[in-house]
Structure 1
Amino acid sequence: MTNRSRDLLNSFGKLLQNRAFLMAVGRQAGMGGHGNGGPGSGRRGQGKLLKVLAQSPNGLTNAEIAEILDIRPSSVSATINRLVAAGFVERIPSTTDKRAVIVRLSAQGQRLFAQYDERIDATADDLFGGLTPDEQAQLEQLLTKLAHQLSDLDWGDYMGHMPGWPHPGMGRHPHF
């Protein structure tokens, strides 16, 4: 089984060396991608905040956003200010609490997200369209299983703890 596992690792390595593949995956909302002016473009927190608002059509308060994103309220306010200035979000008074302000996507922000979703769908179709629906389902099942297994690993066991292997990030790795 070691040779088969090594072959799989090499196959994943080839995917990860493919710049176009990495860029396509990295452009997904919440992945911190920086391509083509999508919701993940620009500052790191803006894309995440836009995604949260896209999933909350009635809007959210600053406190709710801070809780969902697990960031400081002052960071939420600063990010919202930038997004309001860019025209992607709007602040509206709460109809139920005069002290609260609701933040939601503006019409421009909604259009941005609709275009972004269309690009993501097209990319996914291009990447996985050569697989049958059964193969797509099997691949998704296998990747989910792999992700669960990866979360259980102690990565310190694999990162530079071999005799003669440099400390991670320190110089070049020896060639085998």
Structure 2
Amino acid sequence: MTAMAPERSQPDLSFLLDRSGHLLRTRMATALAEIGLTARMHCVLAHALGQERTQIQLAELGDMDKTTMVVTMDALEKAGLAERRPSSRDRRARIVAVTEEGARVAARSREIVDRVHREALDALAPDEREVFLRAMDRLIGGLLAESPPAPGAARRARQRQG
């Protein structure tokens, strides 16, 4: 027997945002895979192109942890799309530089990303698109602009060994 969901007084916004985000990420991953990129690789190339940014700065822009950023940069270097170089502004810092081939691939990936977004938004009438995008901007710029700290798991007090 299937459990019935309780009657709701409000739409399940969490489900709608999670599901649409998951489906959009899946479509994006499939489309970018056609040119051998992941969404993270695209993100790094797009944000490093024409800028002098460190791995740490790019990781923050792409919402990646350090380990994920290193793995992503290793893949970009192996593919000849980006390289780590000394910064021209700070000898101690290393920046991510996009190669000529990386710039070409970044232009193609931008077209792919734009196409996937356009296809998703084409499901809405033009006037609905405008309202939807304004509403999403207000949501992420307002209440959802910053996440509250995640609650930690409750831990038992340490007991003395006797």
Q: Give the TM-score of the pair, scaled to structure 1.
A: 0.50
Determine helix, strand or coil for the equivalent of 1:112: helix
Change (3 A) 1:105 1:129: same
Selected match of 1:48 from 32, 37, 40:
40
Provide the rounded CA distance (Å) in 2 between the counterparts of 1:143 and 1:26: 17
Change (3 A) 1:150 1:54: closer
Q: CA deviation at 1:95?
A: 2.0
Match of 1:26 in 2: 25
Structure number with the bigger relative contact order (C-alpha 8 A, sep ≥ 6) is 2
Instruction: Judge conservation of contact 2:86–2:95 (CA < 8 Å) in 1.
Output: yes
Selected match of 1:128 from 103, 121, 133:
121
Match of 1:90 in 2: 83
Q: CA deviation at 1:85?
A: 0.8
User: Which residues of structure 1 form unaligned runs of 5+?
Assistant: 42-46, 152-176
Answering whether residue 95 of structure 2 is matched by residue 102 of structure 1, we say yes
Provide the rounded CA distance (Å) in 1 between the counterparts of 2:52 and 2:124: 38
Q: CA deviation at 1:61?
A: 2.0
Percent of paired sites with the same residue: 25
Change (3 A) 1:136 1:58: same
Instruction: Judge conservation of contact 1:89–1:105 (CA < 8 Å) in 2.
Output: yes
Match of 1:138 in 2: 131
Provide the rounded CA distance (Å) in 1 between the counterparts of 2:87 and 2:36: 26
Deviations 1:53-80 (A, max 9, x none): 41242232234345554523x6544432
Selected match of 1:71 from 56, 65, 69:
65
Q: CA deviation at 1:143?
A: 5.1
Q: CA deviation at 1:108?
A: 2.2
Provide the rounded CA distance (Å) in 2 between the counterparts of 1:133 and 1:88: 37
The amino acid of 2:43's aligned partner reads K
| RMSD (Å), alpha carbons | 4.3
